[in-house]
Each structure stands twice: as structure tokens, then as C-alpha cells.
Amino acid sequence: MKYCQFDGCTNKIAKGIYCTEHKRSSKSRKKKQQAKTVYHHENKPFYRMQAWKDVADFVYEREGGHCQRCGRFVFGKLAHRHHVIPIKKNKLLSLDPNNIRLLCPSPRMFLY
């Protein structure tokens, strides 16, 4: 037996991560979280292109792995490449390294 992963819940469960009471609410939380996501569904194929991966790697190397806002070192999935001018507004700048900033998760949230 283990405890439910919901904050403050003391219910014990045999399997899974949430008790029956919080299992339902976790689905609605997940939907809300997906609605808040910054990445737009129509841009998913773009972010899977090798050209984007090459530019993203170039930007990471150019900045030495440091956030351009706070200077913290960011690694792996925490390193976000942010388009200064969004793809929706100007597709021609989508692969321009000068239009892409390397940011850590903290300051990135203040951009939207």
C-alpha cells in the first residue's frame, strides 16, 4: 500500500498514483494543463523537423547553455528555445537563430 499522490491526501491505495476521490480530478487538471501549454498543436510537425533541431542545438551552443534572461545554466528538457517573433506572425523567421532565445523555465513563463 502507498499514499495517494494528491497534495495533502492521506488515503492509501494499492495501485496507481491517485485514490478514487482524486483520480477524477486529476483528469480535469490534466486537461487544464494541456490547455495552458505554450506549444501550439499546429506547430508540432515544425518542432520535429531536423532543420529545427539543428537550429535549436546551434542556439544552445551559442549561449553556452545559459538562460538569456537570468544567466542560469539550463540542461536537457529544461532548456526552452523561445521564438521572439512567434511562428504564427512570421514563418520566415522560424529558423532564424537571431529570432530564438534560450530560456530556463522560470522567466519563460512571464513571456505569455
| CB neighbours of residue 67 within 10 Å | 21
Q: pLDDT band for position 112 (50/70/90)?
A: very low
- Predicted pLDDT of residue 35: 58
Most confident range, picked from 1-10, 37-46, 85-94: 85-94
pLDDT in tens, 54-65: 999 999 999 999
Domain boundaries, the chain: 2-36, 41-111
| The CATH fold of domain 41-111 | His-Me finger endonuclease fold (3.40.1800)
74 vs 55, which has greater pLDDT? Answer: 55
Residues 9/13/16/18 CA torsion (nearest 10 deg): -20
Three-state helix/strand/coil letters over the chain: CEECCCCCCCCEECCCCCCHHHHHHHHHHHHHHHHHCCCCHHHHHHHHCHHHHHHHHHHHHHCCCECCCCCCECCHHHCEEEECCCCCCCHHHCCCHHHEEEECHHHHHHHC
pLDDT in tens, 22-54: 887 766 766 666 655 555 667 888 889 999 999
62 vs 9, which has greater pLDDT? Answer: 62
Q: Give the chain's mean pLDDT.
A: 83
